[in-house]
Structure formats: C-alpha cells, structure tokens
Amino acid sequence: MSVSFPEVMLTSFLSFLGIKERQSPSLSREEMVARSKKIFQQNVDLVSSVYDRLLPSCDSPRAAISATLSSLRKNYSYFSYESVKISLRYAGRLKGTGL
C-alpha cells in the first residue's frame, strides 16, 4: 500500500500533537482523520498568511520563514522552523526557492 505525501504529513502532524487513535474512542477513524486534516489545513492557512505578509519586507525566503516563526511563536509555542517549512511547502509557497 502506498501512502501519499499529504497522508505522511498528516501522520507527522498528529504525532507532533501527540494524538493517537485510542485517545478518542468516541470518534471513528474517518472522523478523526477529517478533524485532523481540518486542523492541519488551518495551520497551513495561518502559516501561509503570516509568511505572505512578511515576505515583501524580508531579504530572502529563508529570512521570511524565520520572521514567520518568530511572529507565530508569540501566540503559538508549538511551531518549529521545520513545521513552518512543511506548511509552506504543502501550500506551494516555496516552489522555486530551493527550500
């Protein structure tokens, strides 16, 4: 069975949040996956909007990622440099940057 890239990212995201299926016995697997995808997409949208706002004032995409992380960390301590990059890659914001 092959796993698509977004499925791998979703699994990593769930692992990052410490969510396991057995922690939510009242939810079916489909409901849990749907909820997790929604949360993941909300994070992608949040990261992308902050990145898009900061990119014009930064010297490079790498500097914009760092500025995005700094801005997000003021309210969301769970973001890391890698999680920001993963979200931006998923959103297609890093195409052609080599990152």
The closest of 2, 15, 3, 7 to 78, measured between CA atoms, is: 15
Asked whether residue 2 carries a pLDDT value surpassing 50, the answer given is no
Helix axes 29-54, 81-91, angle to 10 degrees: 90
Give the structural domain span for 69: 5-91
Using H for helix, E for strand and C for coil, what is the string for 75-95?
CCCCCCHHHHHHHHHHHCCCC
**What DSSP designation does 25 have?**
T
8 A C-beta contact, residue 33 and residue 10: yes
Per-residue pLDDT of 34-66, as tens digits, reads 888 888 899 999 999 999 999 999 999 999 999
On whether residue 66 sits in a domain, the answer given is: yes
Domain contains 98: no
Q: Is residue 99 part of a domain?
A: no
In a domain, 97, yes or no: no
> How many structural domains comprise the chain?
1
